[in-house]
């Protein structure tokens, strides 16, 4: 097991083991590519540890079959690691706002399901993919999200992805990574491709 040394040890009354095993809230935001990909990489680690995983895809189309979904479903059904449940909430790609009313309703319903699962301690890892968008657009109340995540019971880790993550969410998170774009093939007119984008 890796034995990294933190640069600061807080005077919080916790043992090293207690501090190490605290549930984490991670946020992957920014304009660069790789936010969801990084979250699904974390899901692979959780699967390997035998943790039950809940993936909640907000906004992205329910019609698209992304590679990570198939891989994690197969792994989850293999009986080798943790289980994987995959929930699709959205009806259109996050950067194309078609059918906005139905997408807004789906996002709210998705958040209600996440709240029920957190209360029941259904999963050990929650991937709330593209969930920063419903908060940014005002579909879901950020303050409520922060409070629910702050008071979630047990040891439930949550990773939220999406551009424009609200400041209140970033402030509440234990880990924030901002993906920045330096260069992208789309800048040169190249569309997304199989095996890279999905």
CA distances 150 to 62, 76, 86, 156, Å, are 29, 28, 23, 11
pLDDT at 187: 85
> What order of strands is seen across the sheet that includes strand 157-161?
84-90, 53-61, 125-129, 157-161, 25-29, 175-178
- Predicted TM-score of the model (pTM): 0.88
Specify the residue for token string 């998170």: 173
Instruction: Locate the domains of the chain by residue range.
Output: 23-179
> Residue 87 and residue 159: Cα distance in Å, rounded?
15
pLDDT at 62: 58
pLDDT at 78: 95
23-179 in CATH: which number? Answer: 3.40.50.300
Specify the residue for token string 């920045």: 180
pLDDT in tens, 161-192: 999 999 999 999 999 999 998 898 888 888 88
pLDDT at 7: 80
For residue 76, give the nearest of 97, 45, 49, 53 by alpha carbon.
Answer: 53
DSSP of 71-139, one letter per residue? HHHHHHHSSSS--EEEEEEESS-TTS--SHHHHHHHHHHHHHHHHHHHHHT--SEEEEETTHHHHHTTS
- pLDDT means per 10 residues, the chain with 198 residues, are 71 83 96 94 97 90 72 93 89 49 85 97 97 96 98 98 97 97 87 79
Q: Return the CA Rg of the chain.
A: 17
pLDDT at 102: 72
> Residue 110 and residue 102: Cα distance in Å, rounded?
12
pLDDT in tens, 26-40: 999 999 999 999 999
pLDDT at 92: 46
Q: Which two tokens stand for residue 51?
A: 């943790």
Contacts of 83 (CB under 8 A, 6+ apart): 52, 53, 76
């Amino acid at each position: 097991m890796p034995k990294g040394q933190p640069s600061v040890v807080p005077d919080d009354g916790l043992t090293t083991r207690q501090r190490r095993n605290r549930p984490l809230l991670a946020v992957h935001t920014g304009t660069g590519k790789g936010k969801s990909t990084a979250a699904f990489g974390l899901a692979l680690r959780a699967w390997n540890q035998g943790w039950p995983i809940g993936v909640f895809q907000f906004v992205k189309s329910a019609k698209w079959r992304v590679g990570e979904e198939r891989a994690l479903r197969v792994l989850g059904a293999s009986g080798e690691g943790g289980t994987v449940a995959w929930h699709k909430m959205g009806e259109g790609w996050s950067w194309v706002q078609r059918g906005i009313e139905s997408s807004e309703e789906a996002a709210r319903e998705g958040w209600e399901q996440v709240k029920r699962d957190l209360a029941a301690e259904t999963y050990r890892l929650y991937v709330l993919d593209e969930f920063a968008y419903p908060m940014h657009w005002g579909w879901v109340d950020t303050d409520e999200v922060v409070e629910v995540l702050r008071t979630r019971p047990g040891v439930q880790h949550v990773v939220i992805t999406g551009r424009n993550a609200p400041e209140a969410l970033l402030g509440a998170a234990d880990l924030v990574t901002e993906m920045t774009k330096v260069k992208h093939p789309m800048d040169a007119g190249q569309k997304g491709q199989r095996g890279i984008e999905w």
